Structure 1
Amino acid sequence: MAEIVAMKRLEQEGPVLAKQSEGILRLTLAHPPANALSLAVMAALKAQLDRARDDASVRVVVLAASGKVFCAGHDLKELTASRADPDRGRAFFERTFAECSALMQAIVNSPKPVIAAVDGLATAAGLQLVASCDLAIASQEAAFCTPGVNIGLFCSTPMVALSRNVSRKQAMEMLLTGETIDAATAKEFGLVNRVVPREYLNQVVTKYAQTIASKSPLTLKIGKEAFYAQAEMGLAEAYDHTARVMTENMLARDAEEGIGAFIGKRKPEWKGE
């Protein structure tokens, strides 16, 4: 009964709906039509990610959205309203972009794999949200853009995540033109992993999440941390770092159990240590 009550409490918490089942925490942006990243929304998402980070029962996080727009980026009305402040909004702008950057880094730095389930338009900081996730599965109706250049506000912070997913030429094409690309082009660019019919999106995302959730949580944590760390290193430094990581990983109980299970042709029993 306590678990059911806790589940209801999570589902009713703010502009982000949370539901957990079998190790998969599904976070849904639930303030259509724009699902914009206001300060309240970013705080709610960050709080859920922080909670998941320290919750051993959470193995995988899925980010989704309700409505026809996945996420339209920052709340431009909220930003514009702050121009009436004595500093013309400077302090509010700084806070907004700092909190957005912290949110994106929380996704990357989370020990739990994060999967974006994209159905609809992901624009500007909404695209940044998708690009920050470890995996992204899109419906055929999904679309992506960094249109800031069209309104005099270059998508500089979304550029960080975008340029770490696609080639420089493709990133600059999106950033300089502001034009929208469809899901197939996003897959070609490397922004998403798979494109599926809308009616199968949840099914495919759940399959990915269940597959990942079945692995050792410690191994996932070690691997995700090492992936992003080595990506910022030179070749020799990356090999030195990952060799040390693999040595420590080999000493973990889960590696001993997993290798033993493979040799003994049995299913491993993960302990997370």
Structure 2
Amino acid sequence: MSEPIEQALSDNGVLRLTLNNPQRRNALSMSMIAALHDAIKQADVSTAVKVIVLGANGPAFSAGHDLKEITAAREQPDKGRAFFSTLMGQCAAMMTDIVTCSKPVIAEVDGIATAAGCQLVASCDLAYASDTSRFATPGVNIGLFCSTPMVALSRNVANKHAMEMLLTGDMFSACDAERIGLINRVTDSESLKTLTHDIASKIAEKSSMTLAIGKAAFYRQKDMDLVQAYAYSAEVMVDNMLTKDGEEGITAFVEKRPPVWRNE
């Protein structure tokens, strides 16, 4: 069997992770979640990786959890409770580690992204999609509210947009997903990889240390009130200014030359 995740690292530090189970619409099975989680954790500590692009093979980015796997678990004496708890816990840990990963993570969507697949897109720092891609949290249609996808969705789009997706279960076009802020930009399928690669490469040119500081601060300050957020971010800014890359960046700007990052 092929690996559930394909990995390819470019010379400039862009790591491409590709979901690779198109026959099952790249469903987030236990094995897929474990493989993706492991890849994210390895990339997080790798000095060679600067940016992560998350894509998929086949016509679906990800159709969410593997419903056949879930159905099979119901045959257990506990009706699947232990399996369901493990599945939800491991999926939540993987999604959380995407957000807390020190490297920027970019979703590249060329196909459908539904339920936990939509959650995966919302968990990434940036997201770009082809104009034929579609997004949904359709659990309500099968008696299963998308409560865990709701966590990522509600942290990325306004309440009423999130509730519309969650309550109706309707498919949203790529243009609608861009309009509500679920994705950054829409392009055609032929241009999608070029777009994400160009964005990833631009980010990869920055100081990895600075990116890590900024990403962590961004998500932390969002849950603070205004005064706390400014106090916290001011401390982060001061510490950043005292780093070697902070000094180098300003010096290079003043001297009108490209900076030489040391990631220190």
Task: Place the TM-score, normalised by the shorter chain, in its bin.
Answer: over 0.9
- State whether structure 2 residue 248 is matched by structure 1 residue 257: yes
Q: How far apart in 2 are the matches of 1:111 and 1:13?
A: 29
- 1:52 aligns to what? 43
Letter matched to residue 115 of structure 1: I
- 2:14 aligns to what? 24
Secondary structure at the residue paired with 2:256? coil
Instruction: Name the CA shift for 1:251/1:38 in 2 (closer, same or farther; >3 Å).
Output: same
Moved over 6 A (4+): none
Structure 2, gaps ≥5 residues long: none
- 2:76 aligns to what? 85
C-alpha displacement of 1:14: 2.4
Q: How far apart in 2 are the matches of 1:122 and 1:43?
A: 19
Structure 1, gaps ≥5 residues long: 1-11
- 1:15 aligns to what? 4
- 1:234 aligns to what? 225
Q: How far apart in 2 are the matches of 1:48 and 1:75?
A: 20
Q: How far apart in 2 are the matches of 1:77 and 1:167?
A: 32
Letter matched to residue 19 of structure 1: A
- State whether structure 2 residue 221 is matched by structure 1 residue 222: no
Q: How far apart in 2 are the matches of 1:206 and 1:198?
A: 13
Match of 2:181 among 172, 184, 190: 190
Match of 2:118 among 127, 131, 155: 127
Secondary structure at the residue paired with 1:84? coil
- 2:204 aligns to what? 213
- State whether structure 2 residue 34 is matched by structure 1 residue 43: yes
- State whether structure 2 residue 175 is matched by structure 1 residue 175: no
Q: How far apart in 1 are the matches of 2:73 and 2:154?
A: 30
Q: How far apart in 1 are the matches of 2:83 and 2:239?
A: 44
Q: How far apart in 1 are the matches of 2:145 and 2:164?
A: 13
Secondary structure at the residue paired with 2:190? helix
TM normalised by structure 2 equals: 0.98
CA deviations over 1:170-212 (Å, ceiling 9, x no partner): 0000000000000000000000000001100000000000000
Q: How far apart in 2 are the matches of 1:269 and 1:40?
A: 41
TM normalised by structure 1 equals: 0.95
Quote the RMSD (CA, aligned, Å): 0.9
- 1:266 aligns to what? 257
Q: How far apart in 1 are the matches of 2:118 and 2:188?
A: 20
- 1:199 aligns to what? 190
CA deviations over 1:127-186 (Å, ceiling 9, x no partner): 000000000000001100000000000000000000011110000000000000000000
Q: How far apart in 2 are the matches of 1:127 and 1:247?
A: 37
C-alpha displacement of 1:37: 0.3
Secondary structure at the residue paired with 2:22? coil
Match of 1:148 among 139, 153, 158: 139
Q: How far apart in 1 are the matches of 2:133 and 2:227?
A: 39
